[in-house]
């Protein structure tokens, strides 16, 4: 590190250069992130120094967090004081880690606990396993890429404490049969965590009705991520439990703060993200999000029909704004799309298909350009 | 959640109200956070959409992260390609969790591992224990509130895999005898993690020379927090290992991203914090931080001498900008300072003393006002 600092102007020019090396989202079809809404950025900046790790110092921001939790509750059919049942995390990984940690802590009577989840579960659960040493058992999928219930049941044993279902799988945007998982969970007194990191800000705004949230009796916790389809700033995640008691299982004693206990995984915690999430959710309302989701689904249909016109089928009928295209030599096509045309797409694992996430930064024109380039390669 | 969104103007007025309920830092003497530097906020906002969880999309921001790691390396006497040996975390808790996780993963041959650390270790280590199930053994302190080496040695057994030392304890700002801990660690082939979340941005800029970082041979990892005395934005933490291999022990496989493996705890990760930390470190340079630390230490001396003039002694001679004042009925005094005068201070556990953190937002005038109010109560 240099002895003497460099000027503001010099720093800004270095930052400008770095920024120009970053990919703009225009041709990014591989990410679940997008540009945050302008009002989210404005709110974020205004609350930049707020630390939710010490909420006694920031009662105003803490009040905004309670309002966000009430809005989550309203979206996810949670009618039991949602403002007491969760908090804003750094994202889906923290939410998933904490949901599993809460299960484990509530069932300390079980010595080597395991949790059963679909093969399609996000890699954050591998972090949970690595971090906590608890066993994650992965159930196979049916031919629509939902979790196979027989496989789930076959993996359950005396040490099973909970199940996980996904509302919007990362690879295919599929929704697991949460109601059936709920029956299994209720029968056996298991926890049931639903990972709606992606789907949580999509499913409430679709015409089709799905049953995947707290209206399903056995669901005990949910992950929902404002910094994906919620158009909030990074790092904005959400975790909601059915009852306030689940949060207690996460608490550790905290001397020298304005509070005595802390349930969050991180210590210092962004109040900027709280304000940002509050602002964009209040500003858009259901109407605003419905229009965002409508647009993404419209583009999704465009890409599916355009691909079909090229003779390319989808792996499953898209449920939400994620499309997996069954192209031969998908890895080669992916590489050429990037090298020749600058398109960022990703690859699903099984089957190996081209995976596209149709986020709000994707417009009609982008879809047309993409399909034209894809045509040159297949 | 409402059907119709509310206007931008209405949102901004709600945010303004919430902000007015938050405590301004002017009378906060209890927090290790402060206002971030103006250039940090500017950089943060410019990189608001950058996601370091998918660094292939953001090579410019990723380059800035490498530069920050090099600067950490320079501050902490790390000469072995620091840019390959760490990453920017969400804060001290994530850094401490990951340091311990890396130890555990590297010593999978040990069945019920334990780590020995001082009683004065931050509560984030209790989260580690709760989360991972590994045993945390707490060594007692000597009469200067450094860890007692005999106590450390007495807690070591065949399942011990590592030690933790603190460079700037949260309660008293004390520094453990890292060189002696290093000897113990080297003798027994243990890991030695140094938590410099607070001290990492202070000790390199003090006149007094301390030996607590990678120049001490046995130190294998360090926590350093830019969002405390580094004047960066929340969430900005840092974790640095001695060798790149320690990071490998944190990696999990990540399909569908621009990278194949991920070592961070969170998935989506703030690029804004990376740019913010880069900007403020480059802008201040050693000179700038030295002047920040000088000011804090000057105010610290003021408060100590002012308190002595009131007949109040400190628990230890302050090593850095944390003061613990031995006042009778500390809890009552704390409450009155808040209720009657709006001062936020905290309390140390043992002994129960008034704890003040003299951050850069505290000026001469504040110290005078505080001492005048304190005088009325003692």
pLDDT, position A258: 79
Q: Which of residues 24-43 of B touch A (CB under 8 A)?
A: 25, 28, 30-31, 33-36, 39, 41-43
Which positions in chain A touch B63 (Cβ < 8 Å)? Answer: 18, 21
Tell me: pLDDT of B256 over 80: no
3 state DSSP class of A325: strand
Domain boundary among A223, A255, A282: A282
Where chain A has pLDDT below 70, the residues are: none
Tell me how crowded residue A285 is: count the other CB atoms within 10 A of its CB: 16
Handedness of CA A96, A98, A103, A109 (dihedral sign): positive
Indicate whether B237 and B303 sit together in one domain. Answer: no
Q: Give the closest residue to B176 by CA, choosing from B191, B196, B153.
A: B196
Query: Closest-CA residue in chain A for B74?
Result: A1
Residue B288 at interface with chain A, using a CB cutoff of 8 Å:
yes
Q: What are phi and psi of A335, to 5 degrees?
A: -65, -45
For range B109-136, the mean pLDDT:
95
Which positions in chain B touch A270 (Cβ < 8 Å)? Answer: 234-235
Report the number of distinct structural domains present in chain B. 2
Domain boundary among A247, A263, A282: A282
Indicate whether B238 and B351 sit together in one domain. Answer: no
Which positions in chain B touch A132 (Cβ < 8 Å)? Answer: 131-133
In a domain, B2, yes or no: no
Tell me: pLDDT of B257 over 90: no
Contact B18 A60 (CB under 8 A): yes
Indicate whether A237 and A300 sit together in one domain. Answer: no
Indicate whether B106 and B123 sit together in one domain. Answer: yes
Collect all residues with Cβ–Cβ distance below 8 Å to A102 and sequence separation of at least 6. A191, A221, A241, A246, A247, A249, A250
Which positions in chain B touch A23 (Cβ < 8 Å)? Answer: 57-59
Which positions in chain B touch A324 (Cβ < 8 Å)? Answer: none
Share of chain B above pLDDT 70, in %: 100
pLDDT digits (tens, 9 = 90+) for A17-43: 999 999 999 999 999 999 999 999 999
Give the strand pairing for A160-166 and A114-118: parallel
For range B334-354, the mean pLDDT:
96
Contact A131 B97 (CB under 8 A): yes
Indicate whether A55 and A155 sit together in one domain. Answer: yes
Q: Give the closest residue to B101 by CA, choosing from B123, B80, B125, B84.
A: B125
CATH number, domain with residue B359? 3.90.1150.10
Indicate whether A269 and A300 sit together in one domain. Answer: no
Residue B107 at interface with chain A, using a CB cutoff of 8 Å:
no
3-class SS letters over A138-173: EECECCCCCECHHHHHHHCCCCEEEEEEEECCCCCC
Give the strand pairing for A252-253 and A237-241: unpaired
Mutate to test the interface with B, among A2, A18, A70 (most CBs of B within 10 A): A18
In a domain, B116, yes or no: yes
Tell me how crowded residue A229 is: count the other CB atoms within 10 A of its CB: 29
Collect all residues with Cβ–Cβ distance below 8 Å to A208 and sequence separation of at least 6. none
* Helix, strand, coil share of chain A (percent; to 5): 45, 15, 40
Indicate whether B193 and B292 sit together in one domain. Answer: no
pLDDT, position B249: 93
In a domain, B249, yes or no: yes
Residue A329 at interface with chain B, using a CB cutoff of 8 Å:
no
Indicate whether B341 and B361 sit together in one domain. Answer: yes
Residue A145 at interface with chain B, using a CB cutoff of 8 Å:
no
Contact B233 A272 (CB under 8 A): yes
CATH number, domain with residue B187? 3.40.640.10
Contact B21 A257 (CB under 8 A): no
Total residue length of chain A: 378
Contact B93 A122 (CB under 8 A): no
Q: List the single residue in B270, B275, B283 with the smallest CB-CB distance to A234.
A: B270
Closest CA–CA distance from residue A286 to any residue of chain B (Å): 5
Asked if A202 and A75 touch (Cβ cutoff 8 Å), the reply is: no
pLDDT digits (tens, 9 = 90+) for A173-190: 999 999 999 999 999 999
pLDDT, position A255: 82
Indicate whether B20 and B72 sit together in one domain. Answer: no
Which positions in chain B touch A47 (Cβ < 8 Å)? Answer: 15, 19
Q: List the single residue in B6, B42, B75 with the smallest CB-CB distance to A283.
A: B6
Domain boundary among B282, B311, B340: B282
Asked if B64 and B52 touch (Cβ cutoff 8 Å), the reply is: no
Tell me: pLDDT of B224 over 80: yes
In a domain, A3, yes or no: no
Indicate whether A168 and A296 sit together in one domain. Answer: no
- pLDDT confidence band for B258 (50 / 70 / 90): confident
pLDDT, position A72: 98
Residue B275 at interface with chain A, using a CB cutoff of 8 Å:
yes
Q: How far is CA B291 from CA A38, A131, B288, B298, in A?
A: 36, 40, 5, 10
- pLDDT confidence band for B260 (50 / 70 / 90): confident
Which positions in chain A touch B59 (Cβ < 8 Å)? Answer: 21-23
Which positions in chain A touch B30 (Cβ < 8 Å)? Answer: 54, 57, 256-258
Answer yes or no: is the ipTM higher than 0.90: yes
Which structural domain range is residue B94 located in? 39-282
In a domain, A318, yes or no: yes
In a domain, A109, yes or no: yes
3 state DSSP class of A28: strand
Closest CA–CA distance from residue B251 to any residue of chain A (Å): 9
Burial class (CB in 10 A: 0-12, 13-18, 19+), B108: exposed
């Amino acid at each position: 590190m240099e002895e003497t600092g460099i000027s503001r102007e010099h720093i800004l020019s270095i930052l400008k250069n770095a920024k120009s090396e970053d990919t703009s989202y225009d041709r990014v079809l591989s990410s679940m992130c997008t540009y945050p809404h302008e009002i989210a950025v404005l709110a974020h900046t205004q609350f930049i120094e707020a630390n939710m790790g010490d909420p006694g110092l920031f009662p105003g921001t803490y009040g905004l967090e309670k309002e966000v939790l009430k809005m989550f509750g309203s979206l996810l059919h949670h009618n039991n004081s949602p403002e007491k049942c969760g908090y804003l995390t750094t994202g889906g990984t923290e939410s998933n880690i904490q949901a599993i940690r809460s299960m484990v802590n509530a069932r300390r009577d079980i010595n080597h606990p395991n949790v059963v989840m679909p093969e399609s579960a996000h890699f954050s659960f591998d972090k949970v396993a690595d971090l906590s040493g608890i066993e994650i058992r992965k159930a196979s999928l049916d031919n629509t890429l939902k979790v196979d219930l027989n496989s789930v049941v076959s993996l359950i044993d005396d040490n099973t404490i909970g199940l996980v279902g996904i509302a919007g799988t990362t690879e295919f945007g599929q929704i697991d049969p949460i109601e059936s998982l709920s029956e299994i969970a209720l029968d056996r007194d298991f926890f049931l965590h639903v990972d709606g990191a992606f789907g949580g800000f999509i499913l409430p705004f679709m015409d089709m009705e799905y049953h995947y949230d707290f209206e399903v009796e056995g669901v005990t916790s949910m992950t929902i991520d404002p910094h994906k389809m919620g158009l909030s700033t990074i790092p904005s995640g959400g975790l909601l439990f059915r009852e306030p008691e689940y949060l207690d299982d996460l608490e550790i004693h905290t001397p020298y703060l304005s509070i005595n206990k802390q349930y969050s995984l991180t210590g210092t915690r962004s109040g900027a993200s709280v304000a940002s999430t509050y602002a964009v959710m209040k500003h858009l309302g259901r109407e605003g999000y419905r229009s965002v989701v409508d647009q993404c689904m419209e583009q999704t249909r465009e890409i599916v029909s355009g691909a079909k016109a090229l003779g390319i089928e989808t792996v499953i009928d898209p449920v939400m704004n994620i499309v997996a295209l069954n192209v031969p030599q998908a890895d080669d096509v992916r590489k050429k799309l990037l090298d020749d045309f600058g398109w960022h797409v990703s690859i699903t694992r099984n089957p190996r298909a081209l995976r596209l996430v149709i986020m709000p930064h994707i417009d009609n024109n982008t879809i047309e350009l993409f399909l034209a380039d894809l045509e040159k390669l297949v």
